[in-house]
Structure 1
Amino acid sequence: MDSLFHFVAPVCDYLRNLVIHEQLETSSVKTYAQYIQLFWNYLEGEGANYAEVTDKQLLTWLNQQRNRDNKIYVATARCDAIFDMYCWLEVNGYVKDIVRIPGHNDGQNFEPLLSSKRARPGKFRPSRFGVVSGVRPRANDANSVQPTPTNEDLTKLYIAADNPKNPSLTDRNHLLIDWYGQTGVRRIEAQNLTVDQIPEWSVIDDLRRDGYICELRIVKTKGGRPRHIGVLPSLLERTREWIEGPRADIVERFRRKISTYKEPKEIFISAKTGAALTLTTMSNLFAAFFGKAKVEGHGHRIRAHYLTNLLHSEIDAATALLISNGGTFKDIDWELIIRKVAERAGHRNVDSIRDYVTILKKRYQRLSGHDDLVTIDQMLKAKKQELALVEHRISKGKTELEALTKLGAKTDSSTR
């Protein structure tokens, strides 16, 4: 859609093709559409015709992306999305002599407006047309694993998510971070978690007593296929406290305020509207947390934190089992671990896990003596994170107490 809110038929056809024929996830197509919209706005601002776009215009736009503090891999992803669209437009006759594409017009004599280079496996993202843009940013990090938040980063995010004026929002924000970090849910999965999915107190108490995790079935997923996630009793407990405490207060406030108000079934709701948080709102929240904490990345990278911890746990458990049976670390079945983690994380493509495994292939400490080392390790990591948060709150409380004490001393001295 252009600045006059008119649909641009060629772009609409391209996006429709991605969904229907290429069968890309709707969320991915929405992201591509956002990139294209940014580029379209730039072209309109320059008074440029989309059918006559050149390398210079594409490069200028990419440089603008970098000047707005976007990381290189972000600019690269945007370049790929725009170039892929032009390749499709060329192949399907919407534009002519814009891009030279192998097997389509590479035998014709013309000077393309957009240069291209062969997409080499392992260096560039998979290309349906065998080429990528000739002005594609030469980013070393474009195809590597993006920064994964550390435990220290997560503590900074908790601090950034504090809302001194509204403690209930602090509880909600921290809880949202924990669902990302402890279960590996995606944004759409977290948004669609419902109140009735959280067990009652008696079930939570049984899980805690027996040292088990809750296998929670989620239906609304990125790929549309239901899957199970493991949720620690401590996270279920805090979620139940949010539901029966701050969330219930928000619901009651809107019931008194609006006669037609209907309580959302979703867990995470807005204190301003009483409605379920939208995907955009959740993205904006995490963008604000990361920005305020000065931590590189975005909300989805907390899922990477979960994957890294899960891989550590699986490798530790596999190592302990091998050693107890006379094996060594070298005997680890990496493919089995990759498949297990990919299944737990809801990944269709196991190759996305291999990048993490490459980083984590080193010697690990030996664990032994428990039937479910993965669950124990997850619990320990969650407790460490809770401890870091408690320490932050204690430190914050001490600072506030010292400030009040000094203020009181000044008041006493002024009244003498």
Structure 2
Amino acid sequence: MTYTKMNDGLIICTDTTCTVSKHSWPDIPTLLWPEGIDEDASDWLRELVVDSGILASSAMEYAKTLRPFLRFCRGKRDWRTVDDDFLIIWREYLLRTLKLSIDRINRSLDTVFSFYRWAEETKRLRFRVGVYTIDQLPVAMQQIPFPITAKQKFSKGQHGRVFGTWTTPLRLSGSEQNSVVRHTPTETEIRKLHEVAVNQLYGERNSLILSWAEEVGARRAEILRVCKSQMPDAESLADLIEMDEPWIIYVERKGGKKKPLNVQPDLILRTMDFIEYERAQIVTHCRQSIQKYKEPDEIFLSSKTGTVLHRDSVTSIGLRTFSKAGVKNANVHRLRARFAVRTIESLVDALFSGEVVGPQSSWVETILIKAAEQMGHSSPRSLRPYLNYVLNRRLQTSPSIKAEKLASRVRQLHLQERTLVHRLAQYRELEVAVAHLTIGQGNDAATALRKLADELCSGSTQS
């Protein structure tokens, strides 16, 4: 370890021997300077994981954001004396010298402000950060400005409750995301994305995550909530394939309510194959390397921790994949847009061909009233869900929907074929090495094994 690296600030992570309240807490980031541990920053990062419950991978991102700010402070002033003027100098340094994007600068300001807010709330700083309402301050301080100002932001929760939080007023206005037109990947680009993904370390997992966004329209968090226990058994899967119907999985969706994901049988087949092979390898590795490891029910796991992947990890996997595939101004979330386009195209085709009629058409009330009369219902309104069900069943039989189902099946079969070819390629490399060993060609065997090891380790920096 060189002094230069230490002077820049070194982030190391705890191992399984780190215990808090008799529980093991590995992978918590700790910040080091030449004179030793940065206790304040490291305490904040630890409390984020242990007390606030964020994942260690997210705490690492906070550490990577806070470190350059504290490094900027060193030699200029003690971090405890920082005020708005200094934060503005930092902000302009990021903007003018480093030429970072507005979104990235604002994320840095948010992280730094969160650290200072924590320092104020834990009394490491006293009355330096303005995270107080007027009635919380001593009378003598009610008119005194704080060195680090704050503004209160309110938001409404799910049941109408209003929540308030403190933010920095120094954020730059005008997100670049608003000015960049996000690109929806084409079919050709999506094939390229899967070609790149499947050749990564744990490529089956990464390609499968892309498929869940593309074929199901699920968000990152929704994909990560899908569990092994929600997969069908062999008999149910056979019935799905025979009837050509989707498998329904209920997960917590946007808004906090459990809603269904409709998953086509071919994607279920790929997912179950992944569970049996590559996911099983991740679980086996974690059982061997992590004490008291307990396999979670979620399907998509981190190879490092054995726990469910974090949404940020999915974003990182997506960024690497999209970048290498040359797909610009797009991310995993844009695959949901591709799903939406396909769905709407199928609906429009079905409607304009006269195969289905929308539930708002004039004939709807007539059908409901007649049905209510025959069934003895006082109001036809209660029968509307049944009409929607009938319309959905009719929609499933339209040629446009059948064509999209067939296209989806072809995509999944193609991706499964690519996965199997990738697996077999590794076995072929092993067969070559064994053949060399059998005839006493040790050097050639070592070369073949080294080539295979290089291929497997080429993506070792991934989650």
Q: TM-score range by the shorter chain?
A: 0.5 to 0.7
Alignment of 1:8-407 (within 5 A): 8=41, 11=44, 19=52, 26-27=53-54, 31=58, 34-35=61-62, 38-47=65-74, 48-62=77-91, 71-83=101-113, 86=116, 94-99=125-130, 103=134, 108-110=142-144, 112-114=146-148, 128=164, 132-133=168-169, 135-141=170-176, 147=182, 149-151=184-186, 154-163=190-199, 169-185=202-218, 187=220, 190-191=223-224, 193-218=226-251, 228-244=260-276, 250=281, 267-268=299-300, 278-279=309-310, 282-295=314-327, 301-302=333-334, 304-305=336-337, 308=340, 312=344, 320-322=357-359, 324-325=361-362, 370-371=394-395, 380=404, 383=407, 387=411
Which whole-Å deviations, capped at 9, do the CAs of 1:185-218 have from their partners, x for residues lacking one? 5556545644443223432232233342211245
TM-score of the aligned structures, taking structure 1 as reference length: 0.55
Q: 5+ unaligned residues in a row in structure 1: which ranges? A: 20-25, 328-366, 398-416
Q: Are the aligned partners of 1:148 and 1:304 in contact in 2 as well (CA < 8 Å)?
A: no
Measured after TM superposition, the shift of residue 321 of structure 1 is: 1.0
Measured after TM superposition, the shift of residue 65 of structure 1 is: 5.8
Measured after TM superposition, the shift of residue 236 of structure 1 is: 0.7
Backbone CA RMSD of aligned residues: 5.9
Measured after TM superposition, the shift of residue 136 of structure 1 is: 1.2
Q: Bigger relative contact order, structure 1 or 2, given CA contacts below 8 A and separation 6+?
A: 1
- Tell me the amino acid that sits aligned with residue 196 of structure 2: A
Measured after TM superposition, the shift of residue 45 of structure 1 is: 4.7
- Tell me the amino acid that sits aligned with residue 243 of structure 2: D
Measured after TM superposition, the shift of residue 233 of structure 1 is: 1.5
How many aligned residue pairs are there? Answer: 336
Q: Are the aligned partners of 1:290 and 1:296 in contact in 2 as well (CA < 8 Å)?
A: yes
Q: What is the alpha-carbon distance in structure 1 between the residues aligned to residue 164 and residue 319 of structure 2? A: 32
For the residue of structure 2 that corresponds to 1:199, the secondary structure is coil
Q: What is the alpha-carbon distance in structure 1 between the residues aligned to residue 118 and residue 205 of structure 2? A: 44
For the residue of structure 2 that corresponds to 1:208, the secondary structure is helix
Q: What is the alpha-carbon distance in structure 2 between the residues aligned to residue 383 and residue 71 of structure 1? A: 39
Q: Are the aligned partners of 1:217 and 1:228 in contact in 2 as well (CA < 8 Å)?
A: yes
Q: Are the aligned partners of 1:148 and 1:305 in contact in 2 as well (CA < 8 Å)?
A: no
Measured after TM superposition, the shift of residue 114 of structure 1 is: 3.9
For the residue of structure 1 that corresponds to 2:248, the secondary structure is strand
Measured after TM superposition, the shift of residue 58 of structure 1 is: 2.9
- Tell me the amino acid that sits aligned with residue 110 of structure 2: D
Q: What is the alpha-carbon distance in structure 1 between the residues aligned to residue 279 and residue 215 of structure 2? A: 21
Measured after TM superposition, the shift of residue 178 of structure 1 is: 1.0
Q: What is the alpha-carbon distance in structure 2 between the residues aligned to residue 78 and residue 27 of structure 1? A: 18
Distance verdict in 2 for CA 1:172–1:278, change over 3 Å:
closer
Distance verdict in 2 for CA 1:227–1:38, change over 3 Å:
same
Q: Are the aligned partners of 2:183 and 2:330 in contact in 1 as well (CA < 8 Å)?
A: no
For the residue of structure 2 that corresponds to 1:179, the secondary structure is helix
Which whole-Å deviations, capped at 9, do the CAs of 1:31-62 have from their partners, x for residues lacking one? 58843662255224532433322345434544
Distance verdict in 2 for CA 1:382–1:68, change over 3 Å:
farther
Which whole-Å deviations, capped at 9, do the CAs of 1:128-186 have from their partners, x for residues lacking one? 367642x311224467999464345544422331418x8xx544332121123333555
- Tell me the amino acid that sits aligned with residue 321 of structure 1: G
Measured after TM superposition, the shift of residue 225 of structure 1 is: 7.5
Q: Are the aligned partners of 2:130 and 2:148 in contact in 1 as well (CA < 8 Å)?
A: yes
For the residue of structure 2 that corresponds to 1:176, the secondary structure is helix
Larger radius of gyration between Structure 1 and Structure 2: 2
Q: What is the alpha-carbon distance in structure 2 between the residues aligned to residue 99 and residue 17 of structure 1? A: 26
Measured after TM superposition, the shift of residue 73 of structure 1 is: 2.8
- Tell me the amino acid that sits aligned with residue 161 of structure 1: A
Which whole-Å deviations, capped at 9, do the CAs of 1:51-92 have from their partners, x for residues lacking one? 322345434544566677864334324423443554676678
Q: What is the alpha-carbon distance in structure 2 between the residues aligned to residue 242 and residue 145 of structure 1? A: 36
Q: Are the aligned partners of 1:39 and 1:61 in contact in 2 as well (CA < 8 Å)?
A: no
Distance verdict in 2 for CA 1:139–1:254, change over 3 Å:
closer
TM-score of the aligned structures, taking structure 2 as reference length: 0.50
Distance verdict in 2 for CA 1:56–1:240, change over 3 Å:
same
Q: Are the aligned partners of 1:286 and 1:299 in contact in 2 as well (CA < 8 Å)?
A: yes
Q: Are the aligned partners of 1:216 and 1:231 in contact in 2 as well (CA < 8 Å)?
A: yes
Percent of paired sites with the same residue: 18
Distance verdict in 2 for CA 1:293–1:241, change over 3 Å:
same
Distance verdict in 2 for CA 1:312–1:294, change over 3 Å:
same
Q: What is the alpha-carbon distance in structure 2 between the residues aligned to residue 82 and residue 2 of structure 1? A: 15
Q: What is the alpha-carbon distance in structure 1 between the residues aligned to residue 212 and residue 329 of structure 2? A: 17
Q: What is the alpha-carbon distance in structure 2 between the residues aligned to residue 172 and residue 321 of structure 1? A: 39
Q: Are the aligned partners of 1:14 and 1:88 in contact in 2 as well (CA < 8 Å)?
A: no
Measured after TM superposition, the shift of residue 235 of structure 1 is: 0.8
Q: More deviation in 30-39 or 150-159?
A: 30-39
Q: More deviation in 73-82 or 184-193?
A: 184-193
